Amino acid sequence: MGLVADCERLSAGLLAQPVNAVSSLAYVAAGAALAVPAFRTASPRRAERLTFAVVAAADGLGSVLFHGGRFAGGQAVHDGALLATLLFLGTHDLAITRCWAQRRALTVYAAGTAAIVTLLLAWPGMTNVWAAVLACGCLGAEVAVMRAGAPAVPSALALLACGAVLDLAGRTGGPLCQPDSLLQGHAAWHVLTAAALWEWGRHRLGARPPAVRANPAPPGRVSYAGGRDRQPGDVGLGLKDGALPEGISCCRRRQ
Ligand SMILES: [Zn+2]
């Protein structure tokens, strides 16, 4: 597994897998592309967006260290960043469906990240298990948040699917694996999943929210994800009542 499964032949140079390592910088670019607009605009979810940008960039750092293969701790940083990314996606969706304010969402995320670090230190060989659990959680949370009224992000899904196909086809023993080629399936995975994170982030954490879908709540009431009602005055996503972003039915007052 790991470097051996990623097809690219190990080099004796500075980077063990140069193509896979350099392509990892796509995550850093995605993080920068998410962070820069957050500084320029007064998005109500700026702190979440900046946190996500840092997490995406950490993915890049961990991946460079991992595929570089010359740096102690590369695997740990790589695994930690991967799990932190999945945790962020799931926590953000959970926060929307539960009408959490931004501060609460970030507090839960920080606690979850601490739990991940503890798990990695206690069972360093279990990353794939934690990743599978978190991925299933993300999938469930994404379905839940879309049922709550948030629009899907099909571009992110398509990028993720294409990346997975190329990664599988290009891994060691796969039909597209050419160990000495500059075109590596795993490098494509890096670039495409980095783009998927950017797409997801700019749609879900953007300064200009997407259009809202039909809201099931009757006029004069405050709707809640899944059809449950909240009391007037409730806030979500760290905003004052009445200033909630379009696109999320959670805690949205109907007049
Ligand atoms: Zn990789």
**Which of 97, 209, 217 is closest to 153 using CA atoms?**
209
Average per-residue pLDDT for the chain: 80
For residue 192, how far is its CA from the centre of ligand 1 (angstroms)? 12
For residue 187, how far is its CA from the centre of ligand 1 (angstroms)? 7
Phi, psi of 253 (to 5 degrees): -75, 135
For residue 102, how far is its CA from the centre of ligand 1 (angstroms)? 31
More confident residue, 193 or 238: 193
More confident residue, 5 or 230: 5
Residue by residue, what is the 3-state secondary structure of 181-249? CCCCHHHHHHHHHHHHHHHHHHHHCCCCCCCCCCCCCCCCCEECHHHCEECCCCCCCCCCCCCCCCCCC
For 206-227, what is the mean pLDDT? Answer: 42
Residue 252: its H or E element: strand 252-253
For 73-82, what is the mean pLDDT? Answer: 90
Q: Give residue 217's pLDDT band: very low, low, confident or very high (50, 70, 90).
A: very low
For residue 230, how far is its CA from the centre of ligand 1 (angstroms)? 43
pTM of the model: 0.81
More confident residue, 217 or 115: 115
Q: In this predicted structure, what is the pLDDT of residue 131?
A: 93
Q: Which of 27-31, 67-71, 105-109 has the highest mean pLDDT?
A: 27-31
For residue 20, how far is its CA from the centre of ligand 1 (angstroms)? 6
More confident residue, 229 or 88: 88
Task: Write down all domains in the chain, each with its CATH number in brackets.
Answer: 2-204 (1.20.1070)
For residue 16, how far is its CA from the centre of ligand 1 (angstroms)? 12
For residue 197, how far is its CA from the centre of ligand 1 (angstroms)? 15
For residue 183, how far is its CA from the centre of ligand 1 (angstroms)? 14
For 146-163, what is the mean pLDDT? Answer: 86
Q: Give residue 3's pLDDT band: very low, low, confident or very high (50, 70, 90).
A: low
For residue 11, how far is its CA from the centre of ligand 1 (angstroms)? 16
For residue 157, how far is its CA from the centre of ligand 1 (angstroms)? 19
Q: Give residue 216's pLDDT band: very low, low, confident or very high (50, 70, 90).
A: very low
